[in-house]
Amino acid sequence: MGLKLNILLLVIAACIPHIYSRLSLLYTLETNNHPAKLSTPRGWITEKGSYEIKYANKLRNCEDLVVDEKAGYVVLGCDEGRDVWNTVMGVFGKTTPPNGQLYLYDYSRSQPSLESIRLLNTPPGYSFHPLGLSLHLPTDTLLAVNHGTSGSTVDQFHFSRLGNSATFVKSISSPYLRAPNAVVQISNTEVLVTNDHFFTPRKSPWLNKIETYLGLPLGGVTYLNLKTGEAQQIARMPYANGLAVLNSTTIAVASSSSAKVFLYEMDKTTSPPTLAYKEAIATPFWPDNLHVSDGKLFIAGHAQLAALAKLSKSRQHCRADTTSAGCDAKAPSYVAQWTREKGLEDVYVGTEIYSSSGVAMDEKRGVSVISGLYGKGLLIWNKNQK
């Protein structure tokens, strides 16, 4: 009994520094990023060119987006059903959630347009609730992390810009895809997928919260082969979220609960490829999805967890209503960019669009698009307009 007690005390003592650092991080970010302190927008988007919220009456809950800078368009994954079905945040409503949709925002013309992308050849009773997206132009492959009502999968589509369609190919599930979140294709057949948690809100709600708030490294990155179906975990970290290829040898992974973006050196000469930790970029917010343009790493995220949780809870009964009593919760957005030369710089911080989760930048055309997990419309910036 004495030995067991001593071991328990040693374990508790060893955990105290980690728990203290977690509490300190939570207190600092939640205090500094209170919505009342972020009511005035800031960041270089607010100082150069012009920006506006567009399509607020057409789009809601667009978690992720991918861009084709050469052609000048963005593919969006939006899900009104997230109000009552959010498997990441533990929202499981009693009503059947309406399916999500894919959209295409074409900014290549003088008059930009928003178009729906048709989903073709989907199975009967197909449940579609998109989260992370990947667009691999050499193979016209569109991948979507799908948190369907029957389980989470990575869904593969053949994308046609001319037909403005995504033809369903297959759904991929695996024990190594317990809680898929973001996805990026790194070759014609190879894919990396983040799993944000080991314990999911649906099966283990309390363990999921413990994993989140203690920052336990139980999430990670899974390698997936589209041709063979092989899946294998190749990295572990707390709350693995957004994923981006920074350059030919470096992968960036957002660790939301750590308020950091981890950089890994990727060796593709092995199968599966290996990821070796290089460094971490600390962020003054909780990072979500990532995007790379012209060597710059763009990071979209959430300023305050408490505000995001309140907004998520209110959406269950308020849906699109954001003005009635009890439906006016605000979750500030925080978007930044990082380069080795200049470090971290604010791109947009404010509440004009809620809960920023996705960002795209086309440096050549001077256009940026920010989407929100629970946001209405898109925040669109144009360098050449005043």
Residue 282 contacts by C-beta under 8 Å, 6 or more apart in sequence?
259, 260, 344
What average pLDDT values come out for the chain (386 residues) when binned by 10 residues?
A: 56 72 93 95 96 97 98 98 95 92 96 97 98 98 98 98 97 97 98 98 95 96 96 98 96 98 96 96 98 97 96 84 73 98 98 97 96 96 86
User: Tell me, what's the pLDDT at 348?
Assistant: 98
Whether 33 and 303 have beta carbons less than 8 Å apart is answered as yes
pLDDT in the model for residue 250: 97
> Prior bond to 287 cis, omega within 30?
no
User: What pLDDT is attached to residue 328?
Assistant: 77
**Burial class of residue 122 in the structure, from the number of CB atoms within 10 Å of its CB (0-12 exposed, 13-18 middle, 19+ buried):** middle
* Residue 163 per-residue DSSP state: T
Torsions phi, psi of 384, nearest 5? -95, 5
Burial class (CB in 10 A: 0-12, 13-18, 19+), 314: buried
Amino acid identity for residue 31 in this structure: T
| Cβ–Cβ under 8 Å, residues 93 and 85 | yes
pLDDT the model gives residue 95 = 86
Q: Rounded to whole angstroms, how far apart are CA atoms 361 and 381?
A: 9
Helices 2-32 and 305-318, interaxial angle, to 10°? 80
- CA diameter of the chain: 77
Q: Which residues contact 257 (CB under 8 A, 6 or more apart)?
A: 212, 213, 215, 238, 239, 286
The β-bridge partners of 300 are 335
Q: Are 377 and 356 in contact (CB under 8 A)?
A: no
Q: Is 323 exposed, middle or buried (0-12, 13-18, 19+ CB in 10 A)?
A: exposed
Beta strand 165-172 with 113-120 is parallel
Q: Write the DSSP string, 32-53.
A: HT-GGGG-S-BSGGGTSSEEEE
Question: What DSSP element (H or E) covers 118?
Answer: strand 113-120
Q: What tokens were used for 349?
A: 């911080």
- Shortest CA distance to 29 belongs to which of 289, 260, 343, 327? 260
Centre a 10 Å sphere on the Cβ of residue 49 and count the other Cβ atoms it contains: 16
What is the topology classification, in CATH, of domain 33-382? Neuraminidase (2.120.10)
On the CB side of 81, CA atoms within 13 Å amount to 21
Q: Is the dihedral of CA 52, 298, 135, 374 positive or negative?
A: negative
What are 27's two structure tokens?
């207190």
Of 372, 312, 242, 291, the C-alpha closest to 83 is: 312
